[in-house]
A and B are shown apart, each in its own frame.
Chain A
Amino acid sequence: MNKFYMSSLLAIFALALIAWVGAPALPWLFGIVLPYLAVAVFVVGFVRRVMGWSRSAVPFAIPTTGGQQRSLPWIKQAKFDNPSSKTGVFVRMALEILTFRSLFRNTRMKMNEGNRLSYHLEIFLWLGALAFHYAFLVTLLRHMRFFLEPVPGAIQMLEAVDGFFRLEILYDSVQFGLPGVYMSGLVLLAAAAYLFLRRLFIANMRYISLPSDYFPLLLIMGIAFTGILMRYFTKVDIAAIKQLAMGLVTFQPSIPAAISPVFYIHLFFVSVLLAYFPFSKLMHLGGIFLSPTRNMLANTREVRHVNPWNYPVKVHTYEAYENEFREKMVEAGLPVDKMPESAPEEMTEEEKE
């Protein structure tokens, strides 16, 4: 039994319980105070983190070159993997951020019969990560409908693309309907579950995983799960939720009566995620933009990069070198800057004394 993922799991249940018990008694705390606080912590924390990184110097240009350099005109440069122009860096970063290009290279090492090593393309991590992030993004954008009145066309369109299996039968005698199923929520839950399970079941992944790896995944699974629960299984008063959300964004917060506790668990999870974000590995969202191995130009022999804290160091000068070896150099016929005195050096030293 691994206490790292168990502790994370317990933490999630504890958080759910807190919201379940606390929200009906203190709806203004869970519906207004904590969400405000969480957003504030998120914004301030995120900005401070990024500012903290930005304040640190970039003394050297250290791009990891992932392809052919720009050199002779007839040799084809890998313009994006080894970018020597700003456009190249932009494309490299865009590919990295939007398509997880480096992760796409992932291989799995295998020792085969006859002690032969092989490396196979392993796209599941890439696929899982991509599905997870894009599903998260779409879900997030979809939720903007709660914060905007009227709901912009772009978000309605996104919902239409994201949703499928909408079924409505409306007669006087029969009224039957299923809300549209949103792929994003389901994919988010499934992808997060996959990322969680690979940490549990791949031995080396379990070995490197920390509670801070399990916790956010479980938390996001909790968010997705409560969201799906509300949408498809338990009845929640969407109009009341929208009223609450609009109250929050217009800074006229109010608590509409009778919102399901499941909603408060959902909201509390989101609040915890926001507040936790700046202090966690989730900051890779901001950090990837500042990674010097990816965001720097690989034209380091062409343009000099300046180190803001470059300082003079002690070096062994040619003069000191020649002073030590002058006799031997002259004897070997090597040119010297200063010819030795006609008398041997030891003599002159003695004379000086």
Chain B
Amino acid sequence: MADETPKAEELIQIDHRPPAKQWMDVPVNIRKGMYCYASNPKSVEYLGLPNARPWNPIEEDWKLPENWQQILHEGFKERLEKFRSIKVFMDICVRCGACADKCHFFIGTGDPKNMPVLRAELLRSVYRNDFTLMGKLLGRYAGARPMTIDVLKEWWYYLFQCTECRRCSVFCPYGIDTAEITMFGRELLNLLGLNIDWIATPVANCYRTGNHLGIQPHAFKDMIDFFCDDIEEITGIRVEPNFNQKNADILFITPSGDVFADPGTYTAMGYLLLFHFLKEKYGLNVTWSTYASEGGNFGSFTSHETMKRLNAKMYLEAKRLKPKWILGGECGHMWRVITQYMDTMNGPADFMEAPVNPITGTRFENAKSTKMVHIAEFLADLIKHGKLDLDPSRNDNKIVTFHDSCNPARGMGMLDEPRYVIKSVANHFFEMPANTIREQTFCCGSGSGLNAGENMEERMAGALPRSNAVKYVHEKHGVNMLACVCAIDRAALPAAMDYWVPGVDVTGMTELVANALIMPGEQERTTDLRGEPLPGMEEADE
């Protein structure tokens, strides 16, 4: 596992020159460290998805159904009718190469099949063979090839070396979106039961317990109670969150990853402090849900149907608990699903009100149909109206930069809200170079369900471009804190920082807010939420 991962000095020796042979003649080599373990049959079965059985990607026999080629062909055909995106993207690529060096996996591995254009060609070649006149007439000269077991393995390997970050799509003159192609490709693979376990098991967990980690309701409450204890120690205030409460003002949904592991836990503590503050000061009543205790949606890395099945809980729970609207926490792909899929799949959410911030009176016009507001939008509005009591100097020992998470950036366009919030609560802020932020941001390298332990080489290679930009501001401005609004970032980037840029920690936006937030009746704080001394309090620490 991690021990076998090459050292940073080795991994950065990247050769971006392609092999001499034509790519169709280069067989796939499923290499340890570059792939995730196969899905656990129990998880596949629990969801009622096809072909649940134990299998191993590096074994010859993948235990496919007899008629697997037919299943794929028919699945392909069906989806060409159901998704115009796929049909158009299969036909119009001119292979101009603009996308090639935009992919973090190509930059980090040099493997030409990680150029977005070739990743798509892996599928297009089969499409041409099966569905186009030219492909049928000219075969390989038209870039066509039949589906074989080797092609299938190549699909699997490279479709799980894409994090669906959409960076290439920004640069494509036709807007061809590799995320769309990867989602479609993975959906086909799932027809044969070819998922990875880091996706399949969280999906099964989420289906059953409401969250990816499989935390059961009582344990979920316990974990939050631990945070309340920590908060009491740091601030002297006992916060008392609501769970599954009916008729609250707001239902709050966030990724369960932040309840589970550092440094996301500090962001979760941040939420608790914020909601307590708003309750004490303005009487705002926020409830958490144990049933919809997951903002993220690994179903979206499986198939559109699975995405819908998991996402359904948000509106179902809102219907049951009857809040006025839903507030969503910091997460990347969760917001892609909420922004571009949820309302279509599980809406209309006409049982809620168009979101209005009861404290400022601001109408969130841009969320009036989904009825779901991002916490960065909510915080930016509160801060702009001076509704939070803030002491940014408490974050003075943090020199912060902001990593735009792929999905909020390119599937939503939420770029300035988190920046405004962070700059309001931290005095030292520096941007990374322009070609690596905002809509051109680089993925953490572990998105779309790839943040497992066994594929550390893949993850670190994918994290290179992001880390390299962090390194630049780390060396130039002394940046020591990488802020983000994504739970997968918080799970993945600490490892990437340790590997590529030691000395930089990762934080959520709300954690920084909560550090600066002056709670009514709080004791003098000597540490931040991590228990590290506040600036000027280094001595006070016992």
Contact = CB atoms under 8 A, between A and B. Distances in A.
Interface in A201-226: 202-213
Interface in B438-480: 438-440, 464-465, 468-469, 471-472
A72 B86 CA distance: 34
A56 to B, nearest CB: 4
Most interface-central of A82, A105, A116, A324 (chain B CB within 10 A): A105
Contact of A334 (B80, B290, B344): B290
Interface stretch (A150-158, A179-187, A276-284): A276-284
Contacts of B384: 72, 74
B115 interface: yes
Given A49-B91, A314-B309, A329 B218 contact: yes
A60 interface: yes
B154 interface: no
A352 interface: no
Contacts of B468: 115-117
B238 to A, nearest CB: 15
B416 to A, nearest CB: 5
A65 B410 contact: yes
A321 interface: yes
B412 interface: yes
Contact of B94 (A76, A84, A284, A310): A284
Interface string B38-82: 000000000010000000000000000000000000000000111
A318 B320 contact: yes
Interface string A1-45: 000100100000000000000000000000000000000000000
B343 A102 contact: no
Interface string A325-349: 1001101111111000000000000
A53 to B, nearest CB: 5
Contacts of A96: 173, 175
B107 interface: yes
A290 interface: yes
Contacts of A288: 92, 173-175
Interface string B374-416: 0001001100100000000000000000000000011111111
B43 to A, nearest CB: 14
Interface stretch (B16-24, B250-258, B266-274, B503-511): B16-24
B182 interface: no
Contact of A205 (B87, B97, B121, B305): B97
A183 B233 CA distance: 77
A126 to B, nearest CB: 9
B159 to A, nearest CB: 18
B332 interface: no
A70 interface: yes
Contact of A102 (B84, B175, B469): B175
Nearest to B349: A304
A71 B415 CA distance: 10
A144 B79 CA distance: 42
Nearest to B92: A287
B308 interface: yes
A72 B92 contact: no
A243 interface: no
Nearest to B320: A318
Contacts of A336: 244
A203 B91 CA distance: 24
B420 interface: yes
A350 to B, nearest CB: 24
B313 A301 contact: no
B370 interface: yes
B344 A304 contact: yes
A345 to B, nearest CB: 15
Given A293-B177, A301-B338, A207 B316 contact: no
B81 to A, nearest CB: 6
B134 A212 contact: yes
A331 B217 CA distance: 10
Contacts of A314: 48, 309
B344 A60 contact: yes
A69 B414 contact: yes
Interface residues of B, number: 121
Contacts of B174: 284, 287-288, 291, 294
B359 interface: no
A298 interface: yes
Interface stretch (A106-114, A231-239, A246-254): A106-114
Interface string B161-172: 000001001111
Given A302-B368, A335-B245, A65 B173 contact: no
A212 B143 contact: yes
B291 interface: yes
Contacts of A174: none
Contact of B170 (A105, A304, A324, A337): A105
Nearest to B93: A281
Contacts of B368: 301-302
B112 interface: yes
Contacts of B341: 60
B347 interface: yes
Interface string B133-154: 1100010011100000000000
Nearest to A76: B416
Given A64-B410, A72-B384, A7 B338 contact: no
B207 interface: yes
Contacts of A324: 208
Nearest to A115: B12
A42 to B, nearest CB: 15
A188 B540 CA distance: 74
A106 B98 contact: yes
7 tightest A-B CB contacts, nearest first:
A69-B413, A287-B92, A332-B218, A65-B413, A293-B175, A207-B18, A119-B435
Given A56-B82, A298-B413, A304-B370, 5 more contacts: A64-B175, A107-B101, A288-B92, A292-B88, A293-B85
29 contacts: A53-B88, A59-B304, A60-B341, A62-B85, A65-B411, A65-B412, A66-B413, A72-B362, A72-B417, A102-B173, A103-B98, A103-B173, A109-B102, A118-B433, A125-B98, A206-B18, A208-B100, A208-B117, A211-B141, A291-B175, A291-B176, A292-B88, A300-B339, A302-B367, A313-B308, A314-B48, A314-B309, A318-B320, A334-B244
